[in-house]
Structure 1
Amino acid sequence: MYKKVKWLTILAIAAASTCIFSIGFAYSLSITNSSVNESDIKNNSENSENKTEEVMNQLDANSYNVLVMGDSLAKGTGDENNEGFAGGFVKLWKAKTSKPLKLTNIAVNGDTSSGLLNVVHSEQTLKYIQNSSIIFISIGGNEIKNFKNVDISSVDSSLPESKESSSAPNDAKSVENQYLNNLESIFKLIRSKNQNCIIVFIGLYNPFGSDITPDKVELLNNWNYKTDELVSEDNNSVYVPTYDLFKYNTTSYLAPDNFHPNAAGYDAISKRIFEVLKNYKN
């Protein structure tokens, strides 16, 4: 009798152990499966993010991308409508393309050609350039305005060092040469990433009217002429003059700061750009 009870007890303990082992094994499987599922979810999430990035790239490729770079004029400073010439141009250009228009403005207030060259060197800017259909550039105004109160006709056109750039050359000619060298480098960088986009360069106007001497006007005109020459060396670039637009309209085209265009001034530039490009086949 005692032996019988002993064996029944042993069998009961064995059965209980088997049951506990089975439950533990099943639980361990559930944990393993749970870990795999979390990994799958993470991978799926990453794949989803990659697909989203691909879609965004496709959207960029399927859009008509307008990139604006340069100084405060490119940024649209002074425009009470916050559009600038680029915003006005896009409105006019909508009829020229069936693609959705996308405007990206990376202009910097107060920038010079040296600053713009640094901007163009950045990885993000080069990505913008790569997908652009049209690139607008406005630069040079902050460099040449430093000559307003300097007598460039005396002492070999000497110019005090600019406060805006500690490395600014000391004479008008060297400032111009540095500007042209920077501009040439900017064009080369753009073309290294995008051979097909059209580059539109906005020429300088005289915001000072008759307040500057004839030698300063001559300097401005020569600056524009040299810029036009350089831009024309690129077969798919165009120089858009603005000097004549503002010559007799400074009162109605300038913002209260008497330097940047107002909404009417930017609108005039937009229409001038559109007239220049209206026969351009995109």
Structure 2
Amino acid sequence: MPVMTPIAIDEHSKEEKSAIQKDTLAVLALGDSLTRGTGDSTGKGYVGHLIDDLRQGSDQNVSIHNLAINGQRSDQLAQQIQQADVQRTIQGADLIVLTIGGNDLFRRGETLLNFDMNAIDGYREAYIQNLNFILSEIRKHNNEATIFYLGLYNPFINLGDSETTSKVIREWNYESAEALALYDHTVFVPTFDLFQLNVNQYLYSDQFHPNSEGYRIMADRLTSLLTNAR
């Protein structure tokens, strides 16, 4: 009977594959039109600038999955992250960036036209519940990826009653930050101050979304916090 030669397992090959996987930083972007980059004439948005910064600042490969949807509210994102393909992407992410809540609050300008604090309080309560669900679902599928949540700015700060609208947005941001604090490896990224003094300089022609300069300063803020966190 011929002697069967054992098949050698190429352990070196496995190690090389593992090293390749670890050498790639997988970035997942979730949320609304701010994460899509709406209003940026360069097409980059803050996510594109962030990816450029990451690639320039490291020899590590960077991959990006941008699953943000224009106009998305927190309840819609809560549904999106329950999709099997999105959950698989969450599992493979090393870094998650997120914007959500602006459409819950502003509702295409209706909130300012029909200003009702009771209604706003209701919007915020529902949003916080959704945000907690979103964060818990992400953590269910990925315990290690750092989540960077970019807070809201006030695009209407030069309009009438800006003190009231700014107060509402600051309270919204505060409760968002408090929700994030309940979960490990999460970072609240403030943007309110970036737009506060020169809002018109950083807004697109729709006077709501950032322009290319606005997205650039958002990315700079995010990159600085990411550098400190790594």
**Normalization by structure 2: what TM-score?**
0.86
Which of 127, 132, 140 does residue 184 from structure 1 map onto? Answer: 132
What corresponds to 1:226 in structure 2? Answer: 175
Verify: 1:265 aligned to 2:214, yes or no. yes
Structure holding more helix per residue: 1
Q: Secondary structure at the match of 2:177?
A: helix
By how many angstroms is 1:61 displaced? 5.9
Verify: 1:80 aligned to 2:41, yes or no. yes
Which of 127, 137, 151 does residue 115 from structure 2 map onto? Answer: 151
Q: Deviations over 1:106-132 (max 9, x none)?
A: 100000000100111111110110010
> Partners in 2 of 1:80 and 1:57 — Cα distance?
39
Unaligned runs of 5+ in 1: 1-55, 159-170
> Partners in 1 of 2:57 and 2:135 — Cα distance?
25
Which of 185, 192, 201 does residue 243 from structure 1 map onto? Answer: 192
> Partners in 1 of 2:181 and 2:59 — Cα distance?
29
> Partners in 2 of 1:195 and 1:258 — Cα distance?
38
Describe how 1:75-224 pairs up with structure 2 within 5 A. 75-146=36-107, 147-152=111-116, 157-158=117-118, 171-213=119-161, 214-224=163-173
Say whether the 8 Å CA contact 1:78–1:261 is kept in structure 2: yes
- In structure 2, the CA distance between the partners of 1:57 and 1:87, relative to structure 1 (3 Å rule), is farther
> Partners in 2 of 1:114 and 1:58 — Cα distance?
38
Q: Secondary structure at the match of 1:257?
A: coil
Unaligned runs of 5+ in 2: 1-16
Identity of aligned residues (%): 30
Say whether the 8 Å CA contact 2:37–2:44 is kept in structure 1: yes
Q: Secondary structure at the match of 1:66?
A: strand
Say whether the 8 Å CA contact 2:157–2:166 is kept in structure 1: no
- More off after superposition, 234-243 vs 209-218: 209-218
AA aligned to 2:195 is F
> Partners in 2 of 1:219 and 1:255 — Cα distance?
22
> Partners in 1 of 2:38 and 2:32 — Cα distance?
9
Give 1 or 2 for the bigger CA radius of gyration. 1
Say whether the 8 Å CA contact 1:60–1:131 is kept in structure 2: no
> Partners in 1 of 2:88 and 2:43 — Cα distance?
25
**Normalization by structure 1: what TM-score?**
0.71
Q: Secondary structure at the match of 1:211?
A: coil
Number of residue pairs aligned between Structure 1 and Structure 2: 211
